[in-house]
Amino acid sequence: RSPGMRSVRACRSEHERVCGLFADAFGGAAPAFVARAPGRVNLIGEHIDYCGYSVLPFALAQSTEIACRATDEPTLVIKNARGDAYPPLQVSARDPPIDSSRLCWTNYVLAGIKGICEHLHIDSPKGMLMLLDSHVPSGSGLSSSSSIVVAAALATLYANERMRDIDPAQFASVCARAEHYIGTIGGGMDQAISVLAEPGKAKLISFLPSLTTRNVTLPAAAGFIVANSLVEANKYASCYNTRVVECSLAAAVLAKSLSLSNWQQVRKLCDLQQSSALALDQLAAGVDSHLKPGVYTISDVAKQLDLPTEEVEKRYLRGGVEPTAQFKLHDRALHVYTEAARVLEFARICDAAAATASTSNNATTFASLGRLMDQSHRSCAELYECSCTELDALVAICKKCGAVGARLTGAGWGGCVVALAPVSVLDDLRAGIVAAYYGSKPANVVAAAVFATVPAAGAAVSELLQ
């Protein structure tokens, strides 16, 4: 099988922590297996997966583990290793309800279960005792929520003996759609890398015409530091869904302005490229020509599309975005098209460096990659407005302390930055970041907040030996 979706046999000692927590939570019972799904760091390509464009992440060693035992009772009992701060849930395994109006950690578990059961038509799923233990910090922009969805979906597959009935890419796509149950209109990057990641490799993930990935070999001397701003990113409190709607509105207005005959079918910015056959730089120029800088109201968009306002609201507003919202179509579309180009250039530079297998051009390669990361952060901050004061400060500190390039990673509005530097200076870079940003924070907080990282493996199930 492809990377991801692996099932391996493992001794309980390899999962000693989560097995012990399961026993404590369920009266001494032992789990039968552990489903694991990693978080991720996105090197470049922010907020463009839901527009249909390629991204370049890799998986982290930090992951979500769900220790599980299937039962004959059609009931899910879901508990969290963090105890009282995360209330447990007991609910029917058959079509468990998800209240997307409430922020609740169990919604992510239920979304993974529901997505798989619906896709594979599992009408009478096994009940499960589930104990979740996540080492991906929540609200950090490292895909903690998607790692829960993937781990829960994988546990459901294994418990119901359906591992062979779905391939890894299809499984990742199901997990991406499942997360929509919760209310976030994501694009699919987080689930794809969590499932399909390979040790030592970044992945160029593409979504059209269907989900595909290819390995990208990063320069051997390249090291990466992830640093948490300690501002918790909340996609619901943020403008995440508004950005999705803005991109959809921008695509429609651009398509109409370019006199495309199928403009009413254009819902994503990538649809516009497919229909127009324009290159990314031409599309960026078209944004400047056809979209005004500044704010559009829904009435402004309706006039541009020559449609009743009510029809525009019905077609394009979703994810809780209100008709009274204001939309910056020019800036959002310009970010998407220029960011999409940066992703392809980043991969091209890495491919070229790998092909030469020489260290003589490391400085040039690093400078080029770093420049793309810096440009990406500026675009996220200025055009997409998904940064915050703390993220901007942390990026500046990374650069001052020796990073070749640095940018926010994840949805933004808090969370983490990722910094590129030669492996030889990572210790000094980390020390400088710690001194400049974290000050007198406790050592355990700092250890979890700023760390060097390398690409790790994707999701897997460990069948626990007796």
Per-residue pLDDT at 326: 96
Q: How much is the pLDDT for 285?
A: 97
| pLDDT exceeds cutoff 90 at 241 | yes
Q: Within 13 Å and on the Cβ side, how many CA atoms surround 234?
A: 8
> DSSP class of residue 301?
H
| CA–CA gap between residue 251 and residue 122 (Å, rounded) | 37
Q: Are 129 and 72 in contact (CB under 8 A)?
A: no
pTM exceeds 0.85 for this model? yes
Q: What is the pLDDT of residues 202-227, one digit of tens each?
A: 999 999 889 999 999 999 899 999 99
- How crowded is the C-beta side of 191, counted as CA atoms within 13 Å? 32
CB 158 within 8 A of CB 82: no
pLDDT band at 1 (very low <50, low <70, confident <90, very high): very low
Strands (E), 189-304: 202-206, 212-216, 222-228
What integer is the mean pLDDT of 449-457? 95
The pLDDT score that the predictor gives to residue 4 is 63
**pLDDT tens digits, residue range 245-258?**
999 999 999 999 99
Q: For residue range 79-92, what is the model confidence (pLDDT) as tens digits?
A: 999 987 899 999 99
Active site residues: 190
Distance (Å, rounded) from C-alpha 188 to C-alpha 50? 7
| pLDDT tens per residue, range 156-202 | 999 999 999 999 999 999 999 999 999 888 899 999 999 999 999 99
**CB neighbours of 84 closer than 8 A, spacing ≥ 6?**
none
